[in-house]
Structure 1
Amino acid sequence: MNKPLADKLRPTCIEEVVGQNHLLGKNSILKNIISNGYMTNMIFFGPPGTGKTTVANILANKTNKKIYKLNATTASLEDVKEILRNSDDLTCRNGILLYLDEIQYFNKKQQQYLLEFIESGKITLIASTTENPYHHIHKAILSRSNIFEFKYLSKEDIIKGLYRGLDIAKKDFDTKIEFDDDILDYIATLSNGDLRRAINILELSIYSTAPDEDGNLYINIDSIKQNFKNKVVNFDKFKDDYYDTISAFQKSIRGSDPDASIHYLARLVEAQDLITICRRLLVIACEDVGMAYPNAITIVKSCVDAAKELGFPEARIPLAQATLVLATSPKSNSAMNAIDKAIQDIKTNDVGDIPKHLKDAHYLGAEKLGRGVEYKYPHNYDNNYVNQQYLPDNIKDARYYIPGKNKMEQNIVQYQKSIRNK
């Protein structure tokens, strides 16, 4: 069977692995572990096509333990039990190394079963996952493992891997393969940090190119652009990329960076996640702009309503307007701080009863109960203001609203001073 180019390219030693210098570079932790022949429980996590499985295989082959490999997408608890039944075999006298790919697909019961043998030392675990291990892996396994994060490969790393792939392809075809200078750069951009995807694009481009009269292959950029137009957007709803993008979106608006705000909006637009964008814009208008520009929520609500009415692709325009309004507005979180402080008081302090003069007096007998008797109607006084107590006695001096140091709220401060002084 003809192996895929990505499998032929798979490194057999650490020196052949591209990227991940923070883990595999000179004096890095994983490089030293391999050099010292030390083996411990490890969890590799990161995006697909970044070398997790490759490094795990290299590590496994360096050990003197009996190696078993399972993929959690297809493996069952019985497969693990079968491995453990062989643990007393002479070939397992140095212990078992279990390489478990996609460990996040093992449920809680399966992971707990593994834990017993990890604790006893019968199994040394090397696991890989594309998901955040802190969300998907049993805490007891995490506490007994070293966690290593694999990052998206840079364009330079991808191009380096593509050159190696070309060398292998040339030997397979036993012919001359020529290509436009900017092809590898274009493929690296399309792959978005995933070497496996880059190699697959390269392989398909080679196999879909007809040889010339001399039997040589010439790959031109136009044919690749025709078949591969868009790069992969790393956005899977309810996974890390999803929450990271939303977080970056709000933090960029809060930080008053309109360009970064629009960039992260574009990611969300490409993911066609209209509801999340609308909800986030509405909360930002109140949480981060708030009293510094109270009309922001009105503008944003209008933009959000327009976006929902229009749908994609036109929805991107009012969403961009709302984003830029918020990113370029003055900022204040005084409204959020005020309500949070008041809620905290209600939850933790004896706030006391509502003052009698503020209680409802719209019923027969209210006056006999003293309800509303001493209430002063502000509109009967100059500037529609009269000094009277509104908070309960127990917290009558509490202060929840602290105006921000922006033009709008400082105007509020001056207005409040003026009516109180008069």
Structure 2
Amino acid sequence: MEPDLFTAAAEERQEKDPSASPLAVRMRPRTLDEVVGQQHLLKPGSPLRRLVGEGAGGPAGPSSVILWGPPGTGKTTLAYVVSKATNKRFVELSAITAGVKEVRAVIDGARRATGGFGKETVLFLDEIHRFSKAQQDSLLPAVENRWVTLIAATTENPYFSVISPLLSRSLLLTLEPLTDDDLRGLLRRALADERGLKDAVALPEDTEDHLLRIAGGDARRALTALEAAAGAALDKGETEVALGTLEETVDRAAVKYDRDGDQHYDVASALIKSIRGSDVDAALHYLARMIEAGEDPRFIARRLMISASEDIGLADPNALPIAVAAAQAVAMIGFPEAALTLSHATIALALAPKSNAATTAIGAALEDVRKGLAGPVPPHLRDGHYKGAAKLGHAQGYVYPHDLAEGIAEQQYAPDALQDREYYTPTRHGAEARYADAVEWTRQHLGRKRS
């Protein structure tokens, strides 16, 4: 039996008894205009709209599309909408469970459907990054010959996880995480829509806020939680989903944390101060509060990068690379997995030796500049790569440090008013001890006067 027959049977059951399907399925958009978020992909004349035949000239562009974005942002939905809008068969496979055999079966079925019934096929392949190179290679003939319209979805960077031949033949569309406003509109539509809950229950503001937090930008998760909580409320004979009912249903307490208010800044401040104070357990507590409250993981990662320079600096030169790597990973994977990465970085930073020497050094240097302590650049340090520079004395008398055995030249670098200023005062904590030795040695060899 062809996979699309199962899909057709499911759609027929849904039309006869909509309540038999999960709320997330019932609220699945039928047109691009019903899609939540992703406005950068839905503008008039966009490749996605042309793919479904909107605009002058009808369908255009490649027959393969790769959708890259976090979970719950609408990758499956967009594939479904494309198939409905173009009246094509819709076949869905997951790279987790399918292999080359299943892919070939779908392609053979698509060729028969096209030849026998004139019906083209949309093949939606979820989690394509889980396919091996050989498995991805098996898709190429179908893409090149347009036997199917391939729509592949991935949560990982396709430049690392999809083979180049397939990537070069595909239109790459990047999906953005859904905003709270996107999800709020979706929840309210689900509450009122005939396909949804038909105004059977109301959603108070505090319940809605908690629902948005636990959804974490995932539309499917938001609708699943709403359906469960609404069912629990109706079973109690209530027409309003109380916050307590939602907490019981999803087994997650509402964290007292306002992302736009004092709690947001207080908890973020407590996280950084706990890291600065080397209390790893307190730092993890505040990190957990931020994660559970639905804080943007990119915000947390930015704070950790600042902490690495502000409070650790050269006491542990690996702290900043760890924080930067965490920020890059968070941007690629999102929640819930990003919680592991943020924990990794938080623990490393909290247990690292601490130094604010880099912070105080640039602060003192900026203070002098703002006071007007600058002065002209010494003539021998000025640019000498232009005609007439020598006549002005620019770059004359400069000693090239690499020509000296010790690699350091005793000459003036700072302006006259600042040549005896010392901004960097290293600690003896961790790796910064060697920088303390280095700065003492270099200042002596530069002939600097001791303050």
TM-score, length-scaled by structure 1: 0.59
Letter in 1 for 2:131: F
Find the aligned partners of 2:76 and 2:338 in 1 and give their Cα distance. Answer: 32
Return the offset for 1:76.
2.0
Q: Give CA deviations for 1:324-383 in whole Å, capped at 9, x if unaligned.
A: 948845479xxxxxxxxxxxxxxxxxxxxxxxxxxxxxxxxxxxxxxxxxxxxxxxxxxx
Letter in 1 for 2:92: K
Q: For 1:252, which of 288, 291, 306 is the aligned residue?
A: 306
SS in 1 for 2:140: helix
Partner of 2:436: none
Q: What is the CA distance between 1:153 and its match in structure 2?
A: 0.7
Structure 1 residue aligned with 2:447? 418
Tell me if structure 1 keeps the 8 A contact 2:89–2:122.
yes
Among candidates 199, 202, 223, match of residue 199 of structure 1:
223
**Cα distance between partner residues in 2 of 1:418 and 1:172:** 79
Whether the 8 Å contact between 1:66 and 1:92 is mirrored in structure 2 is: no
Q: Would the aligned equivalents of 1:37 and 1:62 in 2 still touch at CA under 8 Å?
A: no
Q: What's the counterpart of residue 287 of structure 1?
A: none
CA contact (8 A) 1:67 1:98 kept: yes
Task: Quote the Cα distance in structure 2 between the aligned partners of 1:77 and 1:269.
Answer: 31
1:7-18 matches, cutoff 5 A? 7-18=25-36
* C-alpha contact 1:65 1:92 (8 A) present in aligned 2: no
Report the CA distance between 1:44 and its aligned residue: 0.3
Unaligned runs of 5+ residues in structure 1 are: 236-240, 283-299, 302-321, 333-390
Instruction: Specify the alignment match of 2:101 in structure 1.
Output: 78
Equivalent position amino acid for 2:59 in 1 = G
Greater Rg over alpha carbons, structure: 1
- For the 8 Å contact 2:73–2:218, the answer to whether it is kept is yes
Partner SS state of residue 197, structure 1:
helix
Preserved CA contact (<8 Å) 2:360 2:424:
no
Q: 1:233-382 maps to which residues of 2 (within 5 A)?
A: 248=302, 251-253=305-307, 256=310, 271=340, 276-279=345-348, 300-301=352-353, 322=354, 325=356, 328=359, 330=361
Paired position in structure 1 for 2:371: none
Distance 1:26 1:152 in 2: 21
Q: What letter corresponds to residue 133 of structure 2 in structure 1?
A: K
**Amino acid of the structure 2 residue aligned with 1:417:** L
Among 24, 29, 45, which residue is 1:6 paired with? 24
Determine the structure 2 residue equivalent to 1:23.
41
Match of 1:191, as an amino acid? Answer: A
1:229 aligns to what? 253
Q: How many residues align?
A: 310
Give the CA RMSD over aligned residues.
4.6
Secondary structure of 1:30's aligned partner: helix
Specify whether residues 249 and 56 from structure 1 end up closer, same or farther in structure 2 by C-alpha distance, changes over 3 A only: same
Amino acid paired to 1:118: V
Q: 1:95 to 1:222 in 2, by over 3 A?
A: closer
Q: Distance in 1 between matches of 2:86 and 2:119?
A: 9
Partner Cα separation in structure 1 for residue 356 and residue 337 of structure 2: 18
Matching residue's letter, 2:239: L
User: What stretches of structure 2 of length at least 5 have no aligned partner?
Assistant: 1-12, 14-19, 256-287, 313-322, 331-335, 364-400, 415-420, 427-438
- The 3-state SS of whatever aligns with 2:33 is helix
Superposed displacement of residue 175, structure 1? 7.1
Residues 120 and 147 in structure 2, CA contact (< 8 A), matched pair in contact too: yes
Residue identity matched to 1:221: L
* Aligned CA distance change for structure 1 residues 119 and 187 (closer, same or farther; 3 Å): same
Cα distance in 2 between the residues matched to 1:92 and 1:398: 79
Q: Which amino acid aligns with 1:108?
A: K
Q: Does 1:129 align with 2:154?
A: yes
CA distance in 1, matches of 2:337, 2:190: 33
Query: Aligned partner of 1:224: which letter?
Result: L
1:149 Cα deviation after fit: 1.2
How far apart are 1:102 and its partner, in Å?
1.7
C-alpha contact 2:26 2:195 (8 A) present in aligned 1 = no
**DSSP 3-state at the match of 1:165:** helix
Work out the CA distance in 1 between the residues paired with 2:207 and 2:186: 14
Residue 133 of structure 1 aligns with an amino acid whose one-letter code is P
SS in 2 for 1:44: strand
Q: Is the 8 A contact 1:56 1:126 kept in 2?
A: yes
Percent identical: 26
Asked whether the equivalents of residues 71 and 102 of structure 1 are also in contact (C-alpha less than 8 Å), the reply is yes
Q: Which residue of 1 aligns with 2:75?
A: 52
Change (3 A) 1:172 1:272: closer
Measure how far apart 1:174 and its partner are: 6.7
Structure 1 segment 97-136 matched on structure 2, within 5 A:
97-136=122-161
Q: Aligned-pair distance for 1:23?
A: 1.1
Shift of 1:16: 0.7
1:42 is displaced (CA, Å) by 0.8
Q: CA contact under 8 A between 2:408 and 2:445: conserved in structure 1?
A: no
Counterpart of 2:306, as a letter, is S
The reply on whether 1:38 has 2:60 as its aligned counterpart is yes
In 2, the alpha carbon distance for the partners of 1:233 and 1:141 equals: 42
Change over 3 Å in CA distance of 1:225–1:257 after alignment to 2: farther
CA distance in 1, matches of 2:45, 2:309: 37
Q: 2:176 aligned to 131, 135, 151, which one?
A: 151
Contact 1:39-1:63 within 8 A present in 2 as well? no
Query: Aligned pair in 2 of structure 1 residues 278, 399: CA closer, same or farther (>3 Å)?
Result: farther
Determine the structure 1 residue equivalent to 2:241.
Answer: 219
Q: Of 178, 181, 200, which residue of structure 1 is paired with 2:205?
A: 181
- Equivalent in the alignment of 1:313: none
Q: 1:253 to 1:179 in 2, by over 3 A?
A: closer
**Cα–Cα, structure 1 residues 124 and 218, in superposed 2: closer, same or farther, change >3 Å?**
closer
Check the 8 A contact 1:60/1:99 in 2, yes or no. Answer: no
Task: Report the CA distance between 1:100 and its aligned residue.
Answer: 1.2
Task: Give deviations 1:286-321, integer Å, cap 9, x for gaps.
Answer: xxxxxxxxxxxxxx33xxxxxxxxxxxxxxxxxxxx
Task: Give the 3 Å change call, closer, same or farther, for CA 38–4 of structure 1 in structure 2.
Answer: same
Distance across 1 between alignment mates of 2:140 and 2:80: 22
